[in-house]
Amino acid sequence: MAAEDERAAARVETYAEFAALVGGLAHEIRNPLSTIRLNMELLAEDFEETPADSPTKQRDRRAKAKIDLVRQECDRLQKLLGDFLDFARQESLSPEPGSLNSEIEQLLDFFAIRAEEAGVEVVRYLDPELPSVRLDRETFRSAVLNLLLNAVQAMEPGGQLVVRTRPAGLGVLLELIDTGPGMDPETLGKVFQAFYTTKQGGSGLGLPTARKIIEAHGGTIDVESAPGRGTKVTIWLPAPPRLPTTGRQAPAPAAG
């Protein structure tokens, strides 16, 4: 057992060193990238000031289009670096007892405008007798928000998203069920692979990062999907036995 613990500690140390290395590299790339983008903006302003009757106006218009393309690629790379840093970061959670239903209610209220704009009806089935769980609110919300965005984007130009919570064994389940086009078995088998994406401009790190966050909470995440039948994402979180129920409380026993 001692040897196994030592190997586990060594793996953790190696991962921490690797995470620090790639994080430092990403930051080193991000700094000159920001400089490039800033200078592209300044250069674009110079071309915008060309008088309409200038003989070089057409040439300047073509140059500005190329500058705009470079700016767009800088933005894409900056987003990719941000997603990569989120994925590579070693999670250091500060979980606290709380209500999963409350977290989901607040997140869905925040997400309501985005869903409405996309023509998506959000249906809530939140079990009032759900046990309490331990959550790091910031990281857990970021993981679920990413899943909600994925569901809405999959259903364009509209559909229905069912959000359901219920007890399950020694924990609780959060289910997100959309009416999107679904995925074929090949795509479904790759959804947790880093950098794999079917979305234009996507980084392919959203679902892998969400899985890291859920597993850091001691939970699991599973995806079921089929073409023409939508997609179902299921998150299971453990419910510590000593935490009280966050739903209705039992009445106090009568005196005497």
Q: Is residue 247 part of a domain?
A: no
Structural domain count, the chain: 2
Residue 194 belongs to some domain of the structure: yes
Band of the pLDDT at 226, cuts 50, 70, 90?
Answer: confident
**Strand ranges in the chain using DSSP code E only, listed in sequence order:** 96-98, 120-126, 133-135, 159-168, 171-178, 220-225, 231-238
Check residue 7 and give its pLDDT: 59
* Residue 15, pLDDT above cutoff 60: no
- Residue 168, pLDDT > 50, answer yes
- What confidence score (pLDDT) does residue 185 get? 85
State the CATH number of the domain containing residue 159: 3.30.565.10
Instruction: State whether 109 and 215 are in the same domain.
Output: yes
Residue type, 209: T
Q: Is residue 151 part of a domain?
A: yes
In a shared domain, residues 106 and 228: yes
Range of weakest confidence among 20-29, 206-215, 245-254? 245-254
Q: Are strands 120-126 and 133-135 parallel, antiparallel or unpaired?
A: unpaired
Rounded Cα distance between 61 and 190, Å, is 42
Q: Contact 105/126 with Cβ under 8 angstroms? A: yes
Band the pLDDT of 256: cuts 50, 70, 90.
Answer: very low
pTM for the structure as a whole: 0.64
Q: Are residues 153 and 35 in the same domain?
A: no
- Does 165 fall in a domain? yes
Query: Strand, coil or helix: what is 6?
Result: helix
What is the percent of the chain where pLDDT is above 70?
A: 71
Q: For residue 63, what are the domain limits?
A: 2-88
Residue 102 lies in a domain: yes
243: in domain: no
Same domain for 53 and 129, yes or no, is: no
In a domain, 202, yes or no: yes
SS (H, E, C) the chain: CHHHHHHHHHHHHHHHHHHHHHHHHHHHHHHHHHHHHHHHHHHHHHHHCCCCCCCCHHHHHHHHHHHHHHHHHHHHHHHHHHHHHHHHCCCCCCCEEECHHHHHHHHHHHHHHHHHHCCEEEEEEECCCCECEEECHHHHHHHHHHHHHHHHHHCCCCEEEEEEEEEECCEEEEEEEECCCCCCHHHHCCCCCCCCCCCCCCCCCHHHHHHHHHHHCCCEEEEEECCCCCEEEEEEEECCCCCCECCCCCCCCCCC
Mean pLDDT for the stretch of residues 46-72 = 77
Neighbours of 133 (CB within 10 A): 25
Answer yes or no: do 132 and 197 share one domain. yes
Q: What are phi and psi of 178, to 5 degrees?
A: -110, 165
Please check whether residues 69 and 113 belong to one and the same domain.
no
pLDDT at 62: 82
Residue 256 domain flag: no
Least confident of 115-124, 157-166, 192-201, 247-256: 247-256
Is residue 104 located within the same domain as residue 186? yes
pLDDT value at 31 more than 60: yes
The reported pLDDT for the residue numbered 231 is: 92
Query: Is there a single domain that holds both residue 159 and residue 199?
Result: yes
Residue 225 has pLDDT above 70, yes or no: yes
Residues 82 and 104 in one domain: no
Same domain as 114, residue 66? no
- What distance in Å separates the CA atoms of residue 79 and residue 202, rounded to the nearest whole number? 9
